[in-house]
Amino acid sequence: MIFVNFKTYRQGTGTRAVELAKTCQEVSRETSLEIIPLVQAVDIFRLNQQSFLVWAQSADDIEFGPNTGQVLPEALLATGAKGTMLNHSENKIPTQVIISIVNRCRRLGLKTLVCAESPEEAKEIVDSGPDFLAYEPPEFIGSRTASVSTAKPEVIKEFVNKIEKIPVLVGAGIHSQKDVRIALSLGAKGILVSSDVVLAEDPKKELLELAEAFRENN
């Protein structure tokens, strides 16, 4: 499984988001690997209307009412999102808020992917039962020279061992088949990527190369 975070890169917004989502869909079909775009809330409806399966990049712990500028989980569901990411290192939220949103999304039928910077942070979240937990230390995000897989394999192993019942993803600097192989060999079920794919000259080629490591792992 690969989650591709479109962030707010120019290549991942508006009409360009459609092309990138199409690339994710094509690679998914060619490799039989689940590839899920994480997109801005404003792009969800557009992509859903074109039959792309997408998740939101975030959601807020709010109810219907005067909450201008925040993202209502019910609104995500109505626009066609199948799930949401929470607590990315670029958008950290308190643990109790994460737990509240996870529980809310479960009631709505929205899946959740929660990011954590450490096994200790993940342990505080795990009992709320998100669908996925991602280990993503912020110091490697966006790096093309270092990755969590090569720099902290022992922490990946610890993370996986502590989070026994929830699939673990690995992100932050993942940019090669070697990075993917290491993560999978340590027990991860997938990866979370962004700039390596979204900013690539040929996103499809980059995705196919990362996906190849999953085939080798089977």
pLDDT of residue 214: 92
Compute how many other C-beta atoms are within 10 angstroms of the C-beta atom of residue 85. 24
Q: For residue 218, what pLDDT is reported?
A: 60
Across all residues in the chain, what is the average pLDDT?
A: 92
- pTM of the shown model: 0.93
* pLDDT tens, residue by residue, 50-78: 999 999 999 999 999 999 999 999 999 99
Q: Among residues 88, 121, 175, 206, which one is catalytic?
A: 88
Of the ranges 12-16, 42-46, 190-194, 202-206, which one carries the lowest mean pLDDT score? 12-16
pLDDT of residue 217: 64
Q: What is the mean pLDDT of residues 2-24?
A: 93
Hey, how many other C-beta atoms are within 10 angstroms of the C-beta on 161?
Answer: 12
pLDDT in tens, 102-145: 999 999 999 999 999 998 999 999 999 999 999 988 787 776 77
Which residues lie below 8 Å from residue 30, measured CB to CB, with a gap of 6+?
208
- What six digits make up the tokens of 90? 């670029």
What domains appear along the chain, each with residue ranges and CATH number? 2-217 (3.20.20.70)
What is the tens place of the pLDDT at every residue in 77-106? 999 999 999 999 999 999 999 999 999 999
Crossing angle of helices 203-217 and 177-185, rounded to 10°: 30
C-alpha neighbours within 13 Å on the C-beta side of residue 52: 25
Q: Which of 117, 121, 136, 158 is catalytic?
A: 136
CB–CB of 135/168 below 8 Å? yes
What is the DSSP pairing of strand 83-86 with strand 2-5?
unpaired
Percent of the chain topping pLDDT 70: 98
pLDDT at 146 over 80: no
- Annotation marks residue 139 as catalytic: no
Question: Which two structure tokens, joined as six digits, stand for 52?
Answer: 């792309």
Q: Let me know: does 176 contact 140? Beta carbons within 8 Å.
A: no
Active site residue 175: no
% of the chain at pLDDT higher than 90 = 77
